[in-house]
C-alpha cells in the first residue's frame, strides 16, 4: 500500500494526531477518562497504522525490536519500582502517600508513574505480538 | 449487535468474520459509552476493534480464508451453550435494577472510593491505581507474561528449521 497517495497523506495527518491523543489520554487520565492501558493501546494502534501504510520493514527501522523488548520489561519494573520507592521512603509497598511531603501530592505522583509503567508494558506487548505475527508470515510465505 | 452475532456464526468466510467482529466491538463500545463507562469503551474500541482486528488479519494471512466444514453435528454444543445462557439469565433476574442506589454493591467500599481521599477527579483511575494498586500491578504482570509467552513460542519456531539444516 506504499504507493497509495490518499493513504499516505491521510496517514501523515492522522498518526501525529493519534499519538498526541494517546499522550493526552495518558497524562489527563487523572481528570478525564483514560489512563495507562488505553494510552498504551492507542500508541500501539498508531504505530500499527504506520506499519500498514509504510510496511513493517520501515516500522522496524523506526521502532526497533530491542526498544520494544526493553519497553515490555521496563513497564513492569517502573510499576514495581514505584512500590519499592514507597517502601524505601518508610511506607507500605505501593503506598504513594509517602512519595511527596503532602500525601495527596504523593498519591498523584505515584498514580502518574504507575500509569506510565502500565502504558509502556501494554504498548510494548501489543507491538511485539504484531511484529511476531507479521514476521512469521514473511518468513514462511 | 444481535444481527452481527448471527451473521458471524453463519458466515464461513473468515475475512468477513474478522471485519464483522470489529463492527461488533464498535457497537459494544457505543453501548459502553451509553452506560457511562467511557474508560472501558475506549479500551474496547482500541483493543477490540483496532488492534485485535489487525492481529486476526495477520493470523488469517497464515492460514486458509475459508472455515473448514464442521465434522460433527452442532447439537451437543448448542444444547450446552443455550442451557448455560438460560442459567445465567435466570441468575441475572434476581439482580437489583440497573442504577439502583440501594444495591448491595454500592453499600460496602464504594462510599469510601467516592469520598476520594486521593483527590483524583477520575474515580476510575483512583480506584485502579491507588486503592487497588496490587490488582493493577498483577494485571500489568499478566500482560507482560503474555508478551513473553508469545516471544518464547514464536521465536523457537523460527530457529528450529535452521537447527535441522545444521544437523543434516
Nearest to residue B114, comparing CAs of A109, B106, A103, A104?
B106
Per-residue cell: A139: 518468513
The answer to whether ipTM exceeds 0.90 is no
The shortest C-alpha distance from A98 to chain B (Å) reads 12
Number of alpha carbons in the 13 Å side-chain half-sphere of residue B166: 5
Hey, is the C-beta of B142 within 8 angstroms of any chain A C-beta? no
- Which residue positions in chain B have pLDDT lower than 50? 164-168
Domain segments of chain A as ranges: 5-140
Burial B86-122 (b: 16+ CB within 10 A, else e): eeeeeeeeeeeeeeeeeeeeeeeeeeebeeeebebeb
In chain B, residues with a C-beta closer than 8 Å to the C-beta of A118 are: 136, 140
Number of alpha carbons in the 13 Å side-chain half-sphere of residue B124: 16
In chain A, residues with a C-beta closer than 8 Å to the C-beta of B121 are: 30-32
In B, minimum Cα distance to A97 occurs at B118
In A, minimum Cα distance to B139 occurs at A118
Those residues whose C-beta lies under 8 Å from the C-beta of residue A120, and which sit 6 or more positions away, are: A40, A71, A74, A75, A78
Q: How far from the centroid of its chain's Cα atoms is residue B78's Cα?
A: 22
Q: How many CB atoms lie within 10 A of CB B40?
A: 17
The shortest C-alpha distance from A77 to chain B (Å) reads 10
Hey, is the C-beta of B35 within 8 angstroms of any chain A C-beta? no
- Write out pLDDT tens, residues A32-66: 677 778 888 888 888 888 888 888 888 888 888 88
Q: What is the pLDDT of residue B108?
A: 67
Mean pLDDT of A4-21: 86
Per-residue cell: B3: 444481527
8 A C-beta contact, residue A122 and residue B144: no
Amino acid at each position: 500500500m506504499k504507493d497509495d497517495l490518499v493513504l499516505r497523506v491521510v496517514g501523515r495527518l492522522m498518526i501525529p494526531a493519534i499519538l498526541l491523543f494517546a499522550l493526552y489520554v495518558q497524562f489527563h487520565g487523572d481528570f478525564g477518562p483514560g489512563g495507562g492501558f488505553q494510552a498504551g493501546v492507542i500508541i500501539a494502534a498508531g504505530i500499527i497504522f504506520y506499519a500498514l501504510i509504510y510496511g513493517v520493514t520501515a516500522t522496524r527501522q523506526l521502532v526497533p525490536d530491542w526498544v520494544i523488548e526493553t519497553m515490555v520489561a521496563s513497564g513492569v519494573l517502573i510499576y514495581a519500582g514505584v512500590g519499592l520507592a514507597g517502601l524505601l521512603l518508610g511506607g507500605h509497598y505501593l503506598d504513594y502517600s509517602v512519595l511527596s511531603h503532602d500525601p495527596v501530592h504523593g498519591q498523584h505522583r505515584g498514580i502518574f508513574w504507575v500509569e506510565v509503567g502500565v502504558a509502556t508494558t501494554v504498548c510494548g506487548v501489543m507491538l511485539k505480538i504484531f511484529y511476531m505475527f507479521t514476521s512469521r508470515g514473511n518468513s514462511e510465505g | 449487535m444481535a444481527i452481527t452475532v448471527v451473521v458471524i456464526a453463519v458466515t464461513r468466510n473468515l475475512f468477513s468474520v474478522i471485519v464483522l467482529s470489529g463492527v461488533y466491538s464498535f457497537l459494544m463500545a457505543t453501548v459502553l459509552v451509553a452506560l457511562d463507562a467511557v474508560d472501558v469503551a475506549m479500551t474496547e474500541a482500541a483493543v477490540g476493534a483496532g488492534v485485535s482486528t489487525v492481529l486476526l488479519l495477520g493470523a488469517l494471512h497464515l492460514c486458509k480464508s475459508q472455515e473448514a466444514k464442521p465434522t460433527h453435528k452442532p447439537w451437543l454444543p448448542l444444547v450446552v451453550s443455550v442451557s448455560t445462557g438460560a442459567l445465567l439469565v435466570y441468575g441475572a433476574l434476581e439482580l437489583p435494577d440497573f442504577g439502583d442506589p440501594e444495591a448491595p454493591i454500592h453499600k460496602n467500599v464504594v462510599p469510601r472510593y467516592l469520598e476520594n481521599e486521593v483527590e483524583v477527579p477520575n474515580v476510575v483511575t483512583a480506584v485502579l491505581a491507588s486503592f487497588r494498586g496490587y490488582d493493577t500491578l498483577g494485571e500489568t504482570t499478566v500482560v507482560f507474561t503474555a508478551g513473553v509467552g508469545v516471544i518464547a513460542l514464536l521465536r523457537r519456531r523460527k530457529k528450529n528449521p535452521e537447527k535441522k539444516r545444521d544437523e543434516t
